[in-house]
Amino acid sequence: MSEAHPPAKKKQKKRKRPDPRLPRGFRDLPPGDLVLRREMIRRVCEVYERYGFTPLETPAVEYVETLGKFLPEADQPDGGIFAWRYDDGEWVALRYDLTAPLSRYVAKNFQELGMPFRRYQTGPVWRLEKPEPGRYREFVQLDIDIVGAGSVLADAEVIDVLAHAMEALEIPRGSYLVCVNHRRVLNGLLERAAVPPEKTLPVLRALDKLDRLGLDGVRALLGPGRRDQGSAAGEGDFTPGADLAPEQIETLLAFLAAPAEGRRGYLEAVRPLVEGTPDGDAGLAELAELDAILDERGLGTDRVVFNPTVVRGLGYYTGAVVEVVLTFEVEEGAERRRFGSVAGGGRYDDLIARFTGQKVPATGASIGVDRLLAALKALGKVETDTAGKVPVLVTTMDRSLRREYQAWADELRAAGIATELYCGSGNVGKQFKYADRRGFTVAVVAGGDEMSRGEVSLKDLRLGKELSRSEELAADRKQWLEQLPGQFSVPRERLVDGVREVLARYGR
């Protein structure tokens, strides 16, 4: 009887390694950018708190009905949000701004808050939009809002805060403008142009694109539509227009092109285009009061202007609309252009009424954090070469001195100096290569010889790098080192003082 053969083992299929790719529209942020962003937010929030704004945090996920993102007469969410169903069948989504969650919070806690309620908030938001260069599906906003105050004084307060926030970031006057318009003035214009209600949002969105597309581009969007410039691969995308009549289009474009000298000049230039309409007259009156308040605060036209081209496409604005524009130029390919908008907002008196059934006045603004950070880099207001870098490295040359190395690192940290203890393997040469790659300023070095003398050595790594690159000093290296050595020893008890002396050379 023959012996049965055992069944052959199946050869396991080799599992495919995942590709370390990013989803479209998302990005990684390196440590340096995160440190710069955190510092920028801190400085802006200090301004907010000086004006009496208090912090608030709401969750990243809200019910879709809270966000108001259901399509009309449909049970599916608007395609512009990241949404999914809970187990109970209800739709939830990642928030697409910080204002809708604020409205939900105010409605839920209305009786306890006390009005007016001032809050600021920062955090990421998500929008399921077509990714473009410099435009991502996840970005950070920094908002302020005043809820429960319907006066023009509240609008002036928001404008004042935005101007001082720009200056807290060392953006000088002349490099920024807070531009203001009024939704009721725009409503008067739409009435004069006989724009039907169903075309209000397409018209406002078209007017809002003046800076990017110019008058001809806006004219096309108000009419039959506009096709983007095609690439070598084919024709560009077509955007349907509002399909207005030529005389309607010319009325709207006359408003955008109205000449204005100063804030009062704006009021006089647009008055003939909207007066006689209830909304237009009311909007002009509020802007006149706002102008008087801004004068009282010393906010001249070098900082705040009235501008008919500030439209803001969102449909929920009911009063003053605001946009912060950076006026300096940057290079974009072979051309130079104005940097443009970094913040926007306005009055939205109808949004909270979705929850409460009664009008709750509110006004606020949102800063685009990453765009503003890009502006600060362009202006040279941040040190991008040092951001996010720990200044001091304690090297670990001798295993028998491990306790001492840890004690030195703890001593420097207790003195408020950010310090890394080297935890890898390798000799001192490898550790110096690591220090150079990571951009440390000072290395603390000690072996048995230094310990026996009660000393530690400090290496000025920046100085060493500058020296190695300097052709002029290479010829007289010995004399230069005697004047300002790259490495020197200090008594053990002067470790903190010695490190501070090196950091002070670089303003740290």
Three-state secondary structure of 451-487: HHCCEEEEEEHHHHHHHHHCHHHHCCHHHHHHHCCCE
Residue 396 and residue 369 share a domain: no
Residue 396 and residue 375 share a domain: no
Pairing of strands 91-94, 176-182: unpaired
Q: How far apart are CA 79 and CA 410, in angstroms?
A: 52
Q: Residue 185 falls within a domain, yes or no? A: yes
CB distance 362 to 352 below 8 Å: yes
Q: Residue 5 falls within a domain, yes or no? A: no
CB distance 244 to 222 below 8 Å: yes
> Where is the domain boundary, 351, 379, 407?
379
Residue 347 and residue 214 share a domain: yes
Residue 407 and residue 337 share a domain: no
List beta partners, residue 338. 329
> Where is the domain boundary, 326, 345, 379?
379
Query: Which residues constitute the domain of residue 262?
Result: 31-60+95-229+236-379
Rg value, the chain, Cα: 30
Residue 347 and residue 278 share a domain: yes
List beta partners, residue 91. 85
Residue 207 and residue 269 share a domain: yes
Backbone angles phi, psi at 191, to 5 degrees: -65, -45
What's the structural domain count of the chain?
A: 2
Residue 108 sits in a domain whose CATH number is 3.30.930.10
Q: Residue 384 falls within a domain, yes or no? A: no
Residue 454 and residue 332 share a domain: no
Residue 450 sits in a domain whose CATH number is 3.40.50.800
Q: Residue 342 falls within a domain, yes or no? A: yes
Q: Residue 420 falls within a domain, yes or no? A: yes
Determine the 3-state secondary structure of 362 from DSSP: strand
Whole-Å CA distances, 105 to 60, 92, 100, 344: 13, 16, 9, 22
Residue 454 and residue 307 share a domain: no
Residue 418 and residue 375 share a domain: no
User: Considering the entire predicted model, what is its pTM?
Assistant: 0.84
Q: Residue 165 falls within a domain, yes or no? A: yes
Residue 405 and residue 302 share a domain: no
List beta partners, residue 321. 181, 346
Pairing of strands 176-182, 304-306: parallel
Q: Which residues of 340-351 are buried (b: 16+ CB within 10 A; e: fewer)?
A: ebbbbbbbbbeb
Q: Which helix (H) or strand (E) holds 14?
A: none
Residue 255 and residue 191 share a domain: yes
Residue 405 and residue 368 share a domain: no
List beta partners, residue 125. 139
Q: Residue 73 falls within a domain, yes or no? A: no
Pair of tokens at residue 194: 């006989």
Pair of tokens at residue 104: 């939900």
Question: Per-residue pLDDT for the chain (508 aa), expressed as one digit of tens each?
Answer: 555 666 666 666 777 889 999 999 999 999 889 999 999 999 999 999 999 999 999 999 999 999 887 655 556 677 789 999 988 889 999 999 999 999 999 999 999 998 999 999 999 999 998 887 778 999 999 999 999 999 999 999 999 999 999 999 999 999 999 999 999 999 999 999 999 999 988 898 888 888 788 888 999 999 998 887 754 444 667 888 899 999 999 999 998 888 778 999 999 999 999 999 999 999 999 999 999 999 999 999 999 999 988 887 667 899 999 999 999 887 766 677 788 899 999 999 999 998 989 899 999 999 999 999 999 988 888 776 666 678 999 999 899 999 999 999 999 999 999 999 999 887 888 998 898 888 899 999 998 888 899 999 999 988 866 665 554 444 554 444 444 457 899 999 999 999 999 999 888 7
Backbone angles phi, psi at 235, to 5 degrees: -75, 155
Backbone angles phi, psi at 337, to 5 degrees: -145, 160
Q: Cα 112–115–121 angle (5° rounding)? A: 85
Query: Mean pLDDT over all residues of the chain?
Result: 87
For residue 195, give the nearest of 251, 240, 239 by alpha carbon: 251
> Where is the domain boundary, 353, 379, 405?
379
- Helix, strand counts (H, E) of the chain: 20, 18
Q: Residue 163 falls within a domain, yes or no? A: yes
CB distance 106 to 98 below 8 Å: no
State the DSSP string of 242-299.
----HHHHHHHHHHHT---SHHHHHHHHHHHHHTTSHHHHHHHHHHHHHHHHHHHTT-
